[in-house]
Chain A
Amino acid sequence: MINYSTPEFLIERDRNRCIDCKVCVRQCANEAHSFDEEEQKVVSHDEKCVACHRCVVMCPTHALTIKRFPLEFRQNSLWTGRTIKDIYMQAETGGILSTGMGNDKPYPIYWDHMLLNASQVTNPSIDPLREPMELKTFIGRKPDRLEFKDGKLATKLSTQLELDLPVIFSAMSYGSISLNAHKSLAKASQVEGTFWNTGEGGLHRDLYEYGPNTIVQVASGRFGVNPEYLNAGAAIEIKIGQGAKPGIGGHLPGEKVDWEVSKTRMIPEGTDAISPAPHHDIYSIEDLHQLIFSLKEATNYKKPVGVKIAAVHNVAAIASGIARAGADFITLDGFRGGTGSAPLRTRDSVGIPIELALAAVDTRLRNEGIRGSVSIISASSIRNSSDVVKAIALGADAVYIGTAALISLGCHVCQKCNTGKCNWGIATQNPNLTKRLNPEIGAQRAANLLLAWKREIKEMLGGMGINALESLRGNRLMLRGIGLSDRDLKILGINAAGE
């Protein structure tokens, strides 16, 4: 049967610059380059290229460029090349289309439709180089009020996560990403005073030392979950759903389950790790309540327990239920959230934007007067520090970053995480590839990203005349909408620019 698929990318090799050193050949796990012994030349194979740019970056003479393959279909707004190719692929395989990373469709990006304020005249902006600028953030259940007896604090607070900036590395399991990626994020969290999240694959023995900066996840597969694990972290997150694939479970193919992954996940080596779509002990909110308190019991009420859900249509009501079920924090994962692997149609068509979900949940919890009892962590599509600032102003206590964190480690967003051939050593367990991510470098880069964002957030806060992040949290007056409908503005709870 003839294969209808055509290359997505074109590899251009400048023969004047290529020295046939074969670095590209050795670096491409997709075998898009090879050495022709007969010609004594390096040659390229466009059809194998995924545009991860590993070869481009590694080429010592900058002889390589990757371009979009110029083959055009007849112009058609409905039947685009991508749509047609998807059908070819399914006609060939009969399979569910699978992909990695987050939704890449051109839906509105609300972050880019919100603008921040700055002080002018009536209120001085504050220079972060001269004045303290505080980003400290606490995640955890907070009482409505403090009580003092004889001038002394009489209220005992439950354990809080203390963050030096409102950014946490989001859940990405060992299995979906490499141990070196985990190490990088763990170490960066420690250096910059924040947290990372294990994802649902357990915590590798080597990383227990980072426990004080670790949020351990409990997901439907319960991989790697045991009392020691639960107590190793600083907090526990129950994962109900993921923004990239709401309503869908997870599937780590057996080839990624090597000995180390198998030990960590507590499953036999080489077996598929299947996370069911629902937790089979949570079919209702009261079941969730029980799991939250089972985990609190297991950890002696010393660890905050949060619940992560995908942002779906009824997210505000669900979040309210979770708050009332005793969660210390709620993670909202929007429809642009990333994934190691998801069915394409689910990823691209299910769920709602995080900006709207976050605003709706914050508003709802405030209307119910319970916003203080639970922290909100906003996950998905945070690309830069101004997105962080906007999320905080909308009402988030902190944000999770996943894709941005991986990009700091070298990810080029080629969306092939699901293939296990990540040339950057991130979304793979292939030992030839995982060693490409030196966790010392990775930790430095990820920490640098956090540091840079800290600096930028401080600049923006200072510009708004604010010197402590809590004065921005939920302060939607600092936002104005641009190019949004009245309905959007209402949901976001912000005025339009010029108002």
Chain B
Amino acid sequence: MKKVYAKEEYCLGCRLCEVHCIVAHSDYKNDIVKAFKKQEQRPLPRVIVEENRPVSFALQCRHCEDAPCTTACITGAMQKDPVTGVVTCEESRCVGCWTCILACPFGAIARNEQGKKVASKCDLCSELGDIPACVKNCPNAAMVFEER
């Protein structure tokens, strides 16, 4: 399946991927300013920028084949789509037990505790039906979305 791969040698550490991830998962998908200023509960970025200058890179869910988060999930909220391979968290079923956080070897799942506690993770922007927002908006092509 197509996944996002980081090219750390070109990551600027600018964190625009985080900004655009937030926007893509907000109610204002085409308006950054509103996504940040109007939305009461701003989504968490689902991409993590790790940085230890000069090295930095963006990391998001690897959508593992055996996805430990899905086998660990106590509610069945975390599922890997058998067709697309995308691992998503059905937030209405998630109870915020964080077993997925315990299980994810990439540390790619975040705790969203703004309202109902839910696990927040990369969904490859499946809803937008486009290439993921982080990849699309990376100013330096430090991420690629491709089949390997």
Contacts and interface: CB of A to CB of B under 8 A. Distances in A.
A and B touch in the complex (CB under 8 A): yes
A268 interface: no
Interface stretch (A118-126, A340-348, A360-368, A429-437): A429-437
B86 to A, nearest CB: 26
A148 B137 CA distance: 61
Contacts of A85: none
Given A431-B54, A441-B140, A26 B32 contact: no
Contact-residue size bin, chain B (C-beta under 8 Å from the other chain): 20 to 34
A432 B13 CA distance: 9
Given A58-B14, A435-B9, A435-B10, A19 B33 contact: yes
Interface string A422-440: 0000000011100110101
Nearest to B35: A19
A440 B141 contact: yes
Contacts, number: 57
B142 interface: yes
A438 B6 CA distance: 13
Contact of A27 (B7, B12, B19): B12
Contacts of B142: 438
A23 interface: yes
A246 to B, nearest CB: 37
A436 B54 contact: no
A477 B5 CA distance: 56
B69 interface: no
A218 B19 CA distance: 47
Interface string B1-42: 000000101111111101110000000000011001100000
A440 B53 CA distance: 22
Given A27-B12, A58-B16, 6 more contacts: A19-B36, A26-B14, A61-B36, A435-B10, A435-B11, A438-B10
27 contacts: A16-B33, A19-B32, A19-B33, A21-B19, A21-B36, A22-B15, A23-B14, A23-B19, A26-B14, A27-B12, A27-B14, A58-B14, A58-B16, A60-B16, A60-B20, A60-B137, A430-B54, A431-B53, A431-B54, A432-B13, A435-B9, A435-B54, A435-B140, A436-B12, A438-B141, A440-B141, A441-B141
